[in-house]
Amino acid sequence: MTRSASPLARFADWSDFGLLSEFMRTAAGETIRVEELVEDDKLVIRAELPGIDPEKDVEVSISGGVLHIAATRSEKFEHKSHDELRSEFRYGSFTRSIVLPAGTYETEVVAKYADGILEIRLPVTATKTHKIEVKH
């Protein structure tokens, strides 16, 4: 990997080593990975949340034009053996906040959970772009 003098390039290099994602987890708590897309005039947000009970362990809310997802994953068993060398399973609280685009209907939200994925659908309308003439 080549190093560049640009601060933005150096910032991008951190992600090559996982340092950026580690920093984000440490600074903001564990985050939930998401996908966002528009499908059939709906904003679709898919959140990766395997191993949870959606009725007890997930809270979805909207306030001030921001969608908030919070989840908790509890360790369901106790380790009796001291032979374990590593565990990469993540337990605890996970959060994610997503700023919703203009034109999102916050009252017509549908959320479903299947196969470890929380899917949230919100209707959106096309917002008009107004071109502004720049005079000289």
Its domain, for residue 37, covers 30-76+90-125
Give the Cα separation of 13 and 75 in Å (integer): 34
Domain count, the chain: 1
Residue 47 lies in a domain: yes
Question: Which tens digit of pLDDT belongs to each residue from 19-30?
Answer: 444 444 434 456
Nearest-Å Rg of the Cα atoms of the chain is 20
Would you place residue 82 in the very low, low, confident or very high pLDDT band (cuts 50, 70, 90)? low
Does any domain span residue 9?
no
Q: What is the CATH number of the domain that holds 34?
A: 2.60.40.790
**Residue 133 domain-assigned (yes or no):** no
Express each pLDDT in 50-64 by its tens digit: 988 999 999 999 999
Contact 119, 46 (CB under 8 A): yes
The pTM for the full model equals 0.65
CA neighbours closer than 13 Å in the CB half-sphere of residue 17: 7
